[in-house]
A and B are shown apart, each in its own frame.
Chain A
Amino acid sequence: MAETLANTPLHDAHVELGAKMVAFGGWHMPIQYSAGILAEHRAVRERCGMFDVSHMGEIDFCGRGAIACVQRLVTNDIAKLTDGRAAYTVTCHDHGGIVDDCIVYRIGPEHLRIVVNAANIAKDFAHFRTHGAGFDCTIEDVSSEWALIAVQGPAAVGLVAELAGSSLRDVPSFGFAPGRIGDVEVVAARTGYTGEDGFELFIPTAGAVSVWHALLKAGAPAIGLGARDTLRLEARLSLYGNDIDDTTDPISAGLGWVVKLDKGIACVGHDALATVRGAGSTRKLVGFRVVDRGIIRDGADILDDAGAIVGRVSSGGVAPTVGGSVGLGWVPAAMAQTGRTLQLQQRGKTMAAEQVAGPFYRRPK
């Protein structure tokens, strides 16, 4: 059962910090450091922390047809982007199922980059090559050239700006700009996956270790995947493979805001998505807060009023900042109603949960 795991350029740095390393999407990644998941979660909510997300993939689109090509591949309208701006989106199959969720960066009019989930790099690249053929545009997987470190939390922007250039403070949400940390040129994108403000830093692989140490020295503690999951769940950000996958469409998953069906170039999956938008979803992804004592976990059953299993919890866990336990799950559309109670069942125990609209945690303005 020996699985060959890939290491990020920061692998040794994690081990030095006493990280507990686990297999994640084919990568050897830190689940937590010595502080533990709760302390790491708190650090990000209260001040800041940094995450090695170098396992994520970068796929570059270059050429005169780059914008048209990406416009065909993703559901959001990326023709509206200007240089230095990015957008969250999904990329779909013809049948409307989600191949991946990703962020598109417009580096220039003839150069776009899509950052994708680690476990999906090969699948996405093949999908992009298949459906992006015929445009005046090269499609290249440049994942190995880039390390990615996310610095997140209320103090993150100040800390990065101090190190990498004070003008970075003016980068808007979903904007990006170049900076320099020591002698390493980086690109700082004002994006993240925690519900906090912050940057994701693109760093040439060779410079990753030196930037990591500079950030540590500046006061950003290392945060593992465990806290990344509790942080993203509180912020109600979907996790590919749990909440969304090849069988779920973005509209039913609550991501209809990234589905633009009238953008000139029809995206892959356009007709299937138009049908869902017209006819309505049969199932929906809902968020809920557990009312009873207990912590809900991925895979728990969701019951209807008669006690029949009608849905499944796709993400569930502890909500350290908001308290108690929260989760996301798929239910028949008729049951998806803010405020409506859901009965959840796991390991023979039933607990009540209340459906909630929007994020469980919102950062203070």
Chain B
Amino acid sequence: MSSNVPTDLRYTKDHEWARREGDLIVVGITAHAVEQLGDITLVTLPNAGTKVTEGERFGDVDSVKAVSELFAPLGGEVVEKNGELDAAPESLNEDPYAGWMIKIRPTNPADFDALLAAADYEKLL
């Protein structure tokens, strides 16, 4: 039952992962989150230009069972959303780390360093 927690990513206690990509932060949900959700059927994401606030809802993931909210790991502006998840939300069940959701231009780039390291996130599981 080992949940897959890549060591090169940062995490939130709400089971989002974050990765630095140049000036941007790429955000998705973890394998543990996906395992809890079950079959994912719909991902609702904000459009580019939307402001997000750390710890606040930026979208929803619907699984067959229920809907779950997505929380922003840090504050900033959405510069891109992964439109492929519209057509293939179930791809998150196969590889949640390939299925990124949004890219954020952080208001304060140093916020990234305050996110949980893999080892600390793993302790929450």
Contact = CB atoms under 8 A, between A and B. Distances in A.
A287 to B, nearest CB: 19
A230 interface: yes
B64 interface: yes
B62 A37 contact: no
A225 to B, nearest CB: 10
Interface string B40-69: 011010000000000000001010111100
Contacts of A31: 65
B65 A226 contact: yes
Contacts of A347: 60, 67
B80 interface: no
Interface residues of A, number: 17
B46 to A, nearest CB: 12
A32 B39 CA distance: 11
B18 to A, nearest CB: 24
Interface string B19-46: 0000000000000000000110110100
Contacts of A230: 64
Interface in A25-57: 31-32, 36-39, 41
B38 A226 contact: yes
Contacts of A41: 64
Contact of B64 (A37, A293, A294): A37
A37 B66 contact: no
Interface residues of B, number: 12
A41 B63 CA distance: 14
B100 to A, nearest CB: 21
A234 B77 CA distance: 40
Interface in A283-336: 293-295, 297, 317-318, 320
Given A317-B64, A318-B62, A347-B60, A295 B39 contact: no
Nearest to B90: A38
B66 A297 contact: yes
A32 B41 contact: no
A145 B62 CA distance: 39
B38 A36 contact: yes
A295 B89 CA distance: 13
Contacts of A38: 39, 41, 64
Most B Cβ at <10 Å: residue of A31, A38, A294, A347: A38
29 contacts: A32-B38, A36-B39, A36-B64, A36-B93, A37-B38, A37-B39, A37-B64, A37-B65, A38-B39, A38-B41, A39-B39, A226-B38, A226-B64, A226-B65, A230-B64, A293-B42, A294-B42, A294-B44, A295-B41, A295-B42, A295-B67, A297-B67, A317-B64, A318-B41, A318-B62, A318-B64, A320-B64, A347-B60, A347-B67
Interface of A: 31-32, 36-39, 41, 226, 230, 293-295, 297, 317-318, 320, 347
**Ordered nearest first, which 10 A-B pairs have the shortest CB separation?**
A37-B64, A38-B39, A295-B62, A318-B64, A36-B39, A318-B41, A37-B39, A295-B42, A36-B38, A226-B65
